[in-house]
Amino acid sequence: MKKFLFIFIVIAVTVGFHPATLNAETLDGSDVEYRLLVALRVKQADLQSLLPDPWQVDPVAKGPLKDANLFVIFIDNLLHQDAEGKTALGGTYQLAVIAAPAKNAQTAESAPFVLRVYAPHEDISVVNPYKNTVRANISREQTLKSKNLEPGTATELWEMKDDSGGMMLLQMSYQKAVPRRSNQELKPRSAVEPDFFRIYRVDQGSDLVKSIPANIDRTQNFKFQVTKSEFGKLFDGSEEIIGVISIPWYIRKVFLP
């Protein structure tokens, strides 16, 4: 399938498919996850202030997430393993991530930028090597109902609370559909240390449950709320929901260049 047909299946941000590098790489670990992605359009100037030079905000150009420039990703890590295949960090945990698609104004390279990670682990530097983690409590509730050959319905409740009193909430129910499967390669960078990146090679399934550009909405009782002082300018009531993607499986290997 053509690249833009599946623009919505890249979690975090949709910045293109990269062929496998020929340079030596080091396996850093692997994960089996469930993810839920909320794509938004926020004020470009305020978002740009969070990116390092010479990187520029690069909104999604086409497809069902067109014009989205910010992504909030809720992650239920079902199995985390180190490079030797051993269970690490307890094997399972939850995360919440805020990321933005960006392009280098000098080289035209595209990359997702990790702006913030919320994690419950005490050794948060191990959970997130991008050096921008905040410790937080994250809870998830999910209910699935199906019968015979029908994809069924689902309800989701995610809540993140950090020590400063900040909160992120996502609540909805939705009609499920058969997920689309794809393989992707991503090279996320850190907004704190932009020269640092990791390589993700991913097998994932994606169910686009909401898209404003594609006129799709299989959600009900939808509620999304962010009360974070550091992102107050982005979530001041002017933000727009562009789309929501349920990712029932996200299987990745992580490499260091």
CATH of the domain at 106: 2.40.400
Cβ atoms within 10 Å, residue 87: 11
Phi, psi of 80 (to 5 degrees): -115, 125
CA dihedral 107, 108, 110, 111 (to 10 degrees): 30
What span, in angstroms and rounded, lies between the C-alpha atoms of 25 and 143? 40
From residue 149, alpha-carbon distances to 57, 176, 178 in Å are 42, 12, 11
Does residue 17 or residue 55 have the better pLDDT? 55
Cα–Cα–Cα angle for 8, 168, 239, nearest 5°?
60
Res. 228 pLDDT band, cuts 50 70 90: confident
In the predicted model, is pLDDT for residue 86 greater than 70?
A: yes
- pLDDT value, residue 88: 86
Pairing of strands 240-256, 199-211: antiparallel
In a domain, 9, yes or no: no
pLDDT at residue 7 tops 50: no
Q: How confident is the model at residue 127 (pLDDT cuts 50, 70, 90)?
A: low
The answer to the question of residue 3 being in a domain is: no
User: Which residues span the domain enclosing 109?
Assistant: 23-256
pLDDT of residue 114: 97
CA distances in angstroms from 199 to 8, 32, 111, 187, 196, listed in the order given: 19, 16, 11, 5, 10
Whose tokens are 């945990």? That residue is 93
**pLDDT of the residue at 104:** 98
The answer to whether residue 127 sits within a structural domain is: yes
**How many domains are there within the chain?**
1
Q: Could you tell me which of 56, 38, 47 has the C-alpha nearest to residue 223? A: 38
* Average pLDDT of span 221-234: 94
Per-residue confidence (pLDDT) for residue 224, from 0 to 100: 98
CA–CA distance, 54 with 103 (Å, rounded to integer): 8
Residue 14: which pLDDT band, with cuts at 50, 70 and 90?
very low
Does residue 125 or residue 221 have the better pLDDT?
221
The reply to whether 142 falls in a domain is: yes
Identify whether 172 is part of a domain.
yes
Distance between CA atoms of residues 133 and 173, nearest Å = 29
Residue 127, number of CB atoms within 10 A of its CB: 21
Residue 8 in any domain: the answer is: no
Residue 39, pLDDT > 60, answer yes
191 vs 6, residue with greater confidence: 191
- What are the beta bridge partners of residue 133? 117
Considering the domain boundaries, does residue 157 fall inside one? Answer: yes
DSSP code at position 165 = S
pLDDT category of residue 15 using cuts at 50, 70 and 90: very low
**For residue 248, is it within any domain?**
yes
For residue range 169-225, what is the model confidence (pLDDT) as tens digits?
999 999 999 999 999 999 999 999 999 999 999 999 999 999 999 999 999 999 999
Q: For residue 3, what pLDDT band results from cuts at 50, 70 and 90?
A: very low
